[in-house]
Chains A and B, each alone.
Chain A
Amino acid sequence: MRANPADYELVAPGNLPDVLSLLAKEPGAWLPIAGGTDVMVLYAAGKLPARKLVSIWNLPELRRIEVLPAEVHVGGACTYTDLQEHVIIRREFPLLCLAGSWTGGIANQNRGTIGGNIANASPAGDSLPPLLAYEADLLLVSARGERRVPYRSFHIGYRKTQLGPDELIRAVCLPRQFSKYYAYVRKVGTRNAQAIAKVSLAALALINDGANNHRTNDDPANNRGVIEDVRLAMGSVAPVPLRLAATEKILKGKRVDSQLVRLAGQAAASEILPIDDIRSTARYRTAVAANLVAEFLQRLSAAG
Chain B
Amino acid sequence: MTDSSRGRAKSKISFRLNGKLVTVETYPMARLLDVLRLELGLTGTKEGCGEGECGSCSVLMNGMLVNSCLIPVLQAKDADILTIEGLPSDGRLQKLQQAFLDCGGAQCGICTPGMILAAHHLLSKNPQPTMEQIREGLAGNLCRCTGYVQIFEAVAKAARRERQHESESR
A contacts, CB < 8 Å to B? 3, 5-14, 18, 22, 33, 35-37, 40-41, 43-45, 53, 55, 57-58, 81, 101, 104-108, 110-111, 191-194
Contacts and interface: CB of A to CB of B under 8 A. Distances in A.
B102 to A, nearest CB: 25
29 contacts: A3-B29, A5-B26, A6-B27, A8-B27, A9-B28, A9-B29, A11-B3, A11-B28, A12-B2, A12-B74, A13-B1, A18-B1, A37-B52, A40-B70, A40-B71, A41-B52, A44-B50, A53-B72, A55-B74, A105-B139, A106-B139, A107-B52, A107-B66, A107-B67, A108-B70, A110-B65, A110-B66, A111-B67, A191-B139
A18 B51 CA distance: 30
Interface stretch (B4-12, B14-22, B162-170): B4-12
Contact of A193 (B50, B65, B139): B139
A117 to B, nearest CB: 14
Given A11-B28, A107-B118, A107-B140, 7 more contacts: A8-B27, A11-B5, A44-B50, A53-B72, A55-B74, A106-B118, A111-B66
Nearest to A41: B51
B77 interface: yes
A168 B28 CA distance: 22
A36 B75 contact: yes
Contacts of B30: 5
Contacts of A3: 29
A278 to B, nearest CB: 15
Interface of B: 1-8, 26-31, 50-53, 55, 58, 64-67, 69-72, 74-75, 77, 118, 121-122, 136-142
Given A6-B27, A107-B65, A13 B75 contact: no
Contacts, number: 121
A108 B140 contact: yes
A194 B29 contact: no
Nearest to A81: B64
Contacts of A14: 2-3
Contacts of A58: 75
B28 to A, nearest CB: 4
A272 to B, nearest CB: 28
B50 A106 contact: no
A6 B67 CA distance: 21
B8 A104 contact: no
B113 to A, nearest CB: 13
B70 A111 contact: yes
Contacts of A111: 66-67, 70-71
Nearest to B135: A193
